[in-house]
Homo-oligomer: A and B are copies of this chain.
Amino acid sequence: MENNYYIGIDIGGTNTVFGIVNEIGEIIFTSSFSTNEYKDPRDLVKDIYDKYINFINTKHIQASGVGIGAPNGNFYTGCIEFAPNLHWGENIPIVKIFNEIFKLPAILTNDANAAAIGEKFWGAAKDMKDFVVLTIGTGLGSGIFVNNNIIHGKNGYAGELGHTTIPESNRACTCGRIGCLETFVSSRGILQTYQEICAKKNIEIIIGDISTKDIYDLAQKGNKEAIETYKITGEVIGHSLANLVMILDPEAIFLFGGIANAHPILIPTISDVIDSNVLSLFKGKVKILPSALMNKNAAILGSTALFYL
């Protein structure tokens, strides 16, 4: 047993992905489970354990710990707290469940923190001490490194940039509040922006038939409404990030997630808006970059990297 292996778990509302990662950040085994099929999280963990045992018996290796990334995963308590898309109750003691079934140490954090930790250890932030990762998907998450440490905050809730309120929005958010940043910067937000632009111009669209991927493809082909959608999205992110930059002075902000694939059209707008809205000291100082883990299992890599923090 020359290598050190860690298990990475990415629990999502739809799928839970499990991987075994070696010490140079290679995923040597991966498997996926349908989260919704499990009424009890213990049954899911048992099925992951069975896959794990099958694999290690053939390879004669053993993992040293389990890193878990999950929506609303709390580093301090080891519990998934009030996750809107998981239906296992308000407070799931996921670390305890993994400890009991795997007989291994387990660490939990939220999915955006896991992505940021992945970027730090296996991505483009290796040499950075101060940076932010935005995970843009169904919602908007953020993982923040300061002084070479991920920010958890006093209660483990830090990084809720997606729910900061912005003057541009009076849209209802899934959290029950009005005007959150993620009402614009998320797949749902981008769809709504596109629909509103089309409605203003009396362009008929079939709402259920259009995805953010379609809007990106349209933008690539020069479609005006799709381009305007990304322009507005970039402006809204840029305004929020200008304030964030003046508070944290990060070296870089990375975009991660499905929508972040549109970075070639988003990044120039974001950079321009930041530079137009910061104190002159900060102009040109922060790099806006696509995540280097974009098409990899960043959450698995990041959750195993919890053991290297």
| A162: min CB distance to chain B, Å | 9
Residue in B149, B163, B249, B279 whose CB lies within 8 Å of A149: B149
Whether the Cβ atoms of B160 and A279 lie closer than 8 Å is yes
Contacts of A167 in B (CB 8 A): 167
User: Given the complex of chains A and B, what is the CA–CA distance between A165 and B175 in angstroms?
Assistant: 24
**Listed stretches A19-27, A30-38, A150-158, A192-200; interface member:** A150-158
Residue in B177, B247, B277 whose CB lies within 8 Å of A161: B247
Q: Which residue of B lies closest to A240 (CB)?
A: B243
| A156: min CB distance to chain B, Å | 7
User: Given the complex of chains A and B, what is the CA–CA distance between A82 and B165 in angstroms?
Assistant: 32
| A145: min CB distance to chain B, Å | 10
Given the interface pairs A167-B167, A177-B279, the reply to whether A285 lies near B247 with Cβ below 8 Å is no
- Flag whether A272 is at the interface (Cβ < 8 A): no
Q: Which of A243, A247, A280, A285 has the most CB of B within 10 A?
A: A247
- Flag whether A73 is at the interface (Cβ < 8 A): no
- Flag whether A275 is at the interface (Cβ < 8 A): no
User: Given the complex of chains A and B, what is the CA–CA distance between A249 and B155 in angstroms?
Assistant: 7
Whether the Cβ atoms of A242 and B165 lie closer than 8 Å is yes
Mark each residue of chain A from 152 to 192: 1 if its CB lies under 8 Å from any CB of chain B, else 0: 11111111110111010000000111000000000000000
User: Given the complex of chains A and B, what is the CA–CA distance between A242 and B153 in angstroms?
Assistant: 14
Contacts of A156 in B (CB 8 A): 249
